[in-house]
Amino acid sequence: MTSKLLRGRTLSFLRWPEAIDDHTAWRCEEDGGLLIDGGKIVAVGPYAEVAKRAGAGVETIDHRPHLILPGFIDAHVHFPQMQVIASYGAELLDWLNKYTFPEETKFRNAQHGRRIARLFLDEMLRHGTTTVAAYCSVHKSSAEAFFAESHDRNMLNIAGKVMMDRNAPDGVLDTPQTGYDDSKALIAEWHGKGRQLYAITPRFAITSSPEQMEMAGALCREHPDLHMQTHLSENHAEIVFTQELYPWSRDYTDIYEHYGLLGRKSLFGHCIHLSEREADALSQSGSVAVFCPTSNLFLGSGLFDYQRYRRREKPLRIAAATDVGGGTNYSMLRTLDEGYKVIALNGEKLNPFQSFWQLTRGNAEALSVADKVGTLDEGTDADIVVLDAHATPAMRLRMETVETLAEELFLLQTLGDDRAVREVYVAGRPAKSAIAA
Ligand SMILES: [Zn+2]
């Protein structure tokens, strides 16, 4: 018997909440029920109704008074950087050379890759994140390690071996041909195996030669259903160097455009310093700009103009992400707390419903996986997070004065972290409680 019935306060989004009182944008049941069978959500609604449908004898797990939401989604993260996070004193290019590339060199060792992949996915689940779009290292074995661990956990994850053939130490370089061949082999082995999805992953234009960019474009043409992920317009020195390397380009985005890398499944990390032309190009192609607030603050890269990107005549599709190890926290709650502050520095606000939409349905739509995860819709996979707004003494005290769901969500975002994550379900199986502390 694989079915189980969760009881608690269910919250799921139907669309972007235009305002804090846009009540038809989400559905919340104060005494909700969620019936899971075969790893999928088969019924959701008021507990009494769902319990009747479940029948007697179904295992019931009572999560009251906690909130039951779709699992969080992290749209840009580097799993080999768990021992890079919290590295002091550098901007992007120095940070890559001084800390990141030497660390990623260690992933030549397949055992190291397997160990870090295991610890990384444990950490994601402990923080309530059930889906990531992950960069592996340049080494094929790092992607194999990631997918093997992800598949063991039955998680829906998107990942790819980084392609990079210049401007980095030898230990993290491939060639246009080996980058292509290794990607091809990984796609054949892992894309569509269980819940695994492959992303073609040229690191960024600085570390890929024109020949490698051609190969990345060829992979995208040969596999139009795959994701493509890379970095774009994060830091001023990066932008200047990129344009020196591709002197014919109109701007940074034009390079990716030239090689056929824009599209609805293309994820561009950062997108901070875009020109209007670049934003138009991303918008017209349906490409996704990935907002990584803790990373952008930590590396001093700049302020992503979230609300302006959404509001412009040609709006951008936006995802949110930790960007660990440039990012400073594994938690998507911590990430949206910093996101709120970045948006505030741009003179705007992101209300708590918009934040939680972004963490769940918004990121699922941006990653084109909303038919599977990111909501509590019947028929989707049962990837779920259970949140406790009373998780710490400070949260308990603050909750004494909280009266509305909006206030509770904002408290969770502002004060919450992994301690607020009571349980996580991956395809209906308890995942957080299954991890040894
Ligand atoms: Zn990144």
Q: What is the pLDDT of residues 47-91, one digit of tens each?
A: 999 999 998 889 999 999 999 999 999 999 999 999 999 999 889
Q: How many whole angstroms from 268 Cα to the centroid of ligand 1?
A: 9
CA angle 263, 132, 146 (to 5 degrees): 110
What is the CA(38)–ligand 1 centre distance, in A?
35
pLDDT digits (tens, 9 = 90+) for 335-385: 999 999 999 999 999 999 999 999 999 999 999 999 999 999 999 999 999
Structure tokens at 434: 């299954």
CA dihedral over 268, 220, 365, 68, signed as positive or negative: negative
Q: Which pLDDT score is estimated for 88? A: 92
Q: Measured between alpha carbons, how far is 237 from 254 in angstroms, rounded to an integer?
A: 17
Centre of ligand 1 to C-alpha 248, Å, is 25
Among 83-97, 108-122, 181-195, 331-345, which stretch is predicted with the lowest mean pLDDT?
A: 83-97
CA of 294 to the centre of ligand 1 (A): 11
Ligand 1 midpoint to CA 78 (Å): 6
Q: Cα of 51 to ligand 1 centre, how many Å?
A: 44
Q: Is the pLDDT of residue 184 over 70?
A: yes
Nearest to 252 by CA among 228, 235, 229: 235
Alpha carbon distance 367, 76 (integer Å): 10
* Residue 281 Cα to ligand 1 middle (Å): 21
What is the distance between the alpha carbons of residues 354 and 249, in angstroms, rounded to a whole number? 36
At residue 56, the pLDDT reads: 87
Q: State in Å: Cα 232 to ligand 1 middle.
A: 10
SS3 of residue 141 by DSSP: helix
Give the tens place of pLDDT for each residue, 3-30: 999 999 999 999 999 999 999 999 999 9
Share of the chain above pLDDT 70, in %: 99
Cα 405 to ligand 1 centroid, rounded to whole Å: 33
Q: Is the peptide bond before 315 cis (omega within 30 degrees of 0)?
A: no
Average pLDDT, the chain: 97
* Distance from C-alpha of 155 to C-alpha of 194, rounded to nearest angstrom: 9
Query: Going by C-beta distance under 8 Å and a sequence separation of 6 or more, which residues neighbour residue 165?
Result: 173, 174, 175, 176, 179, 207, 208, 209, 211, 212
One-letter amino acid of 280: D
pLDDT in tens, 292-331: 999 999 999 999 999 999 999 999 999 999 999 999 999 9
d(CA 157, CA 151): 9
Ligand 1: centre distance to CA 326 (Å): 7
CA of 184 to the centre of ligand 1 (A): 22
**pLDDT at residue 376, rounded to an integer:** 98
Burial environment of residue 367 by CB neighbours within 10 A (0 to 12, 13 to 18, 19 or more): buried
Query: Distance between CA 271 and CA 52 in Å, rounded?
Result: 49
